[in-house]
Structure 1
Amino acid sequence: MLLQRIGNSGIGLGTLLDRAAARHPANVVVLDHDLDVAPELGRRCTVAELADLVDDLASRLWAAKVRPGERVVVYKSDGFDIPLLAFAAARIGAVPVLLSPKLDGGTAAELLRRARPAYLLTDRAKLDAELPPTVHELAERILLAAGEHPDAVGLRALAGTPRVPAVTMPPDHPALVTHTSGTTGIPKMAVHTGRTLLARYRPQATAAALVRRRETVAVHVSFVHSRMVSAMAITLLRGAPLLILADEDPAHVAELFARLRPGVIEAHPNSFMLWEELADDPREPLANVRYFSSTFDAIHPRTIHRLLTASRRRSPRFAQLYGQSETGPVVGRTYTRRWTGGTDGRCVGMPFPGMTDVRVVSRDGRPPSPSSPGYIEVRSDGRAVTFLGEPERYRQQVDGDWWRMGDVGYRTRWGCLHLLDREVDIVPGFGSTLVAEDTLLARLADLTEVVVVPDPDGRAVPVVCTRNDRPLDLDAWRTAAADLPPMAPPVHWRLDELPHTATTKIKRLELARILASRNGDR
Structure 2
Amino acid sequence: MALLRPSPYHIGRLFHWHAERRRQTVVHLDRPLDVVPDGGTVYDGAALAGTVTLLADCLYAAGLRAGDRVVVAKDNHFDMPLLAAAAARLGALPVMIAPIASVETVRALIGRAQPTLLVAGTRLLASAGEAGVALVPAGVRTIAVGAPVGDLPAGTLTLGDLRGGAPAPVRIGGADEPMISTHTSGTTGVPKLVLHSANTAIGRFPARMERCFIPFLTTRHSDVTAAAVSFAHIRVMAWTASQLKMAPRGLVAISDPGLPVVERMLAEHRPTTLEAMPNMFQRWEVLAERRPELFGRVRLFVSTFDAVHPRTLRTMLDASGRRFPVWGWGLGQSEVTGITVNLFTRRTVRPGAPADRSTTGWPAAGVRIRVVDPVTGRRQPHGRRGLLLIATRARCLTYLGEDDRYRAKLDGRWWNTGDLAERVAFGRIRLLDREVDMLPGHSCLELESILLDRLPNATDVTVLALPGGPPVPVLCMRDDRLDAREWREAGRGLPEMAAPRLVPWDEVPRTATWKVRRLALQEQVLGTSRTPGTGRWT
Fold in common (TM above 0.5): yes
1:183 aligns to 2:187 (yes or no)? yes
Question: How far 1:423 sits from its partner (Å)?
Answer: 0.1
SS of the counterpart of 1:424? helix
Specify the alignment match of 2:222 in structure 1.
Answer: 214
Superposed CA deviations along residues 329-382 of structure 1, whole A, max 9, x for unmatched, are 1210111111126234254311234x1111111236797479741000111111
Q: 1:193 aligns with which of 178, 194, 197?
A: 197
Superposed CA deviations along residues 205-233 of structure 1, whole A, max 9, x for unmatched, are 34766432220110111111011122221
Greater mean deviation of Cα atoms: 373-382 or 24-33: 24-33
Contact 1:191–1:387 (8 Å) recurs in 2: yes
Contact 2:18–2:245 (8 Å) recurs in 1: yes
Q: 1:171 aligns with which of 165, 170, 175?
A: 175
Question: How far 1:196 sits from its partner (Å)?
Answer: 0.9
Contact 1:89–1:95 (8 Å) recurs in 2: yes
Greater mean deviation of Cα atoms: 182-191 or 196-205: 196-205
Aligned mates of 2:25, 2:440 — CA distance in 1: 53
Specify the alignment match of 1:203 in structure 2.
Answer: 209
Q: Summarize the alignment of residues 447-486 of structure 1 with structure 2, pairs less than 5 Å apart.
A: 447-455=458-466, 458-467=469-478, 469-486=479-496
Contact 2:26–2:42 (8 Å) recurs in 1: yes
Paired amino acid for 1:248 = P
SS of the counterpart of 1:135? coil
Q: 2:71 aligns with which of 58, 64, 73?
A: 73
Contact 1:16–1:233 (8 Å) recurs in 2: yes
Paired amino acid for 2:523 = R
Contact 2:278–2:308 (8 Å) recurs in 1: yes
Aligned mates of 1:136, 1:404 — CA distance in 2: 33
Q: Summarize the alignment of residues 69-468 of structure 1 with structure 2, pairs less than 5 Å apart.
A: 69-130=67-128, 132-137=132-137, 140-146=140-146, 149-197=153-201, 198-199=203-204, 200-206=206-212, 210-240=218-248, 241-282=250-291, 284-340=293-349, 342-343=353-354, 344-353=356-365, 355-363=366-374, 368=380, 372-429=384-441, 431-455=442-466, 458-467=469-478
Aligned mates of 2:284, 2:382 — CA distance in 1: 31
Question: How far 1:123 sits from its partner (Å)?
Answer: 3.3
SS of the counterpart of 2:449? helix
Structure 1 unaligned segments of length 5 or more: list them.
Answer: none
Aligned mates of 1:106, 1:416 — CA distance in 2: 41
Question: How far 1:97 sits from its partner (Å)?
Answer: 0.3
SS of the counterpart of 1:40? coil
RMSD: 2.3
Aligned mates of 1:24, 1:76 — CA distance in 2: 33
Greater mean deviation of Cα atoms: 72-81 or 396-405: 72-81
Aligned mates of 1:370, 1:212 — CA distance in 2: 38
Paired amino acid for 1:416 = R
Distance 1:438 1:282, change over 3 A: closer
Contact 2:480–2:504 (8 Å) recurs in 1: no
Distance 1:243 1:412, change over 3 A: same
Question: How far 1:318 sits from its partner (Å)?
Answer: 0.2
Paired amino acid for 1:260 = H
Paired amino acid for 1:274 = R
Distance 1:321 1:282, change over 3 A: closer
Question: How far 1:39 sits from its partner (Å)?
Answer: 1.1
Aligned mates of 1:288, 1:49 — CA distance in 2: 28
Paired residues, number: 512
Distance 1:149 1:285, change over 3 A: same
Q: 2:513 aligns with which of 503, 511, 517?
A: 503
Question: How far 1:290 sits from its partner (Å)?
Answer: 0.6
Superposed CA deviations along residues 456-509 of structure 1, whole A, max 9, x for unmatched, are 753310000112x34113212211211110001111111111110111100111
Greater mean deviation of Cα atoms: 383-392 or 159-168: 159-168
Structure 2 unaligned segments of length 5 or more: list them.
Answer: 530-538
- TM-score of the two chains, using structure 2 as the length reference: 0.90
Superposed CA deviations along residues 375-413 of structure 1, whole A, max 9, x for unmatched, are 001111111110000001001111111111111010113
Q: 2:502 aligns with which of 478, 483, 492?
A: 492
Q: Summarize the alignment of residues 23-38 of structure 1 with structure 2, pairs less than 5 Å apart.
A: 23-24=21-22, 27-38=25-36
Contact 2:220–2:246 (8 Å) recurs in 1: no
Distance 1:207 1:253, change over 3 A: farther
Aligned mates of 1:230, 1:7 — CA distance in 2: 16
Aligned mates of 2:504, 2:199 — CA distance in 1: 43
Contact 1:201–1:230 (8 Å) recurs in 2: yes
Contact 2:71–2:115 (8 Å) recurs in 1: no
Aligned mates of 2:400, 2:484 — CA distance in 1: 48
Aligned mates of 1:125, 1:416 — CA distance in 2: 45
Question: How far 1:323 sits from its partner (Å)?
Answer: 1.3
Aligned mates of 2:497, 2:284 — CA distance in 1: 28
Distance 1:133 1:518, change over 3 A: closer
Paired amino acid for 1:115 = A
Distance 1:367 1:454, change over 3 A: same
Aligned mates of 1:456, 1:347 — CA distance in 2: 24
Aligned mates of 1:6, 1:389 — CA distance in 2: 35
Question: How far 1:449 sits from its partner (Å)?
Answer: 0.6
Paired amino acid for 1:127 = L
Q: Matched residues, percent identical?
A: 38
Contact 1:145–1:156 (8 Å) recurs in 2: no
Aligned mates of 2:260, 2:57 — CA distance in 1: 39
